[in-house]
Every structure is written in structure tokens, then in C-alpha cells.
Amino acid sequence: MKNNDDRTLCAANSYEQKYYFNPRFANIPEDIQKELHVLCVLFTEDVGGVIRFVYGEDGTLLIETAADENDYLYDEIDADVMVGEIQKKRRELLEQLEKYYKVMFLSSPSGQQSDHL
């Protein structure tokens, strides 16, 4: 999966059966990286389509989903329900990832990774 957006944390694509973790965030602990991997892959196995964790300009971590136009098996309602479950059950993880991004990328004047944390 190719993704040049430097604010994308990770993504999974059921069509290509690929997972992507942005190397820009390689200093996130490995156990959290693995947890994100599991979340993404389980989503695409259960719902299909594509899931992407991406930081907004303000550092908010967004969960975006999409499907190919001709994917009749993808259910947008199920996707929304599963995203809601992730947001509810993994709230603490998502909040920590938002704090990480704000400290490491938004607090430095140039937008480059800082030495905080």
C-alpha cells in the first residue's frame, strides 16, 4: 500500500491485503505498533475496504474508512459501528497517540520531530 501522506499513522487495505505503518512514527513503542496492526487487519477482515488512522492538522487522530465503488460486500453501517467500537474500547490508546503527535510534531516550530518523550 503506497501512501505519501506524512500524517497517516497506519492503514490496511483488504483489496491489496496489505498493512502500512508510516516510518515517520517508528519511535512509537513496538507493542502499540502491533496493537494498531491488529486493529487495522481485524477491521479489514471483518468489514473489508480500507481503514486509515490519520492525524488532523490539530493533532486529532481520525479513523477513516473507504471502499471501492463496486465492493458490494462492504457495509458502511458495519464500518461505522466497528469504528465506534474502536473509539470506545481503545479511547485511552487513541488519546495517548494524539498526545504523542502533539508533543512530537506540533510543539516543535518547524514541524519536525522534537526530542520530547
What pLDDT is recorded for position 38? 98
The confidence band for 7, taking pLDDT boundaries of 50, 70 and 90, is very high
- Is residue 64 within 8 Å of residue 54, measured between CB atoms? yes
Taking only the tens place, the pLDDT of each residue in 85-104 is 999 999 999 999 999 999 99
Q: How many CB atoms lie within 10 A of CB 6?
A: 12
State the amino acid at position 112 in one-letter form. Answer: Q
- Is residue 62 within 8 Å of residue 54, measured between CB atoms? yes
Mean pLDDT, residues 41-61 taken together: 96
Per-residue pLDDT at 5 exceeds 90: no
State the amino acid at position 43 in one-letter form. Answer: F
pTM, full prediction: 0.87
- Is residue 5 within 8 Å of residue 55, measured between CB atoms? no
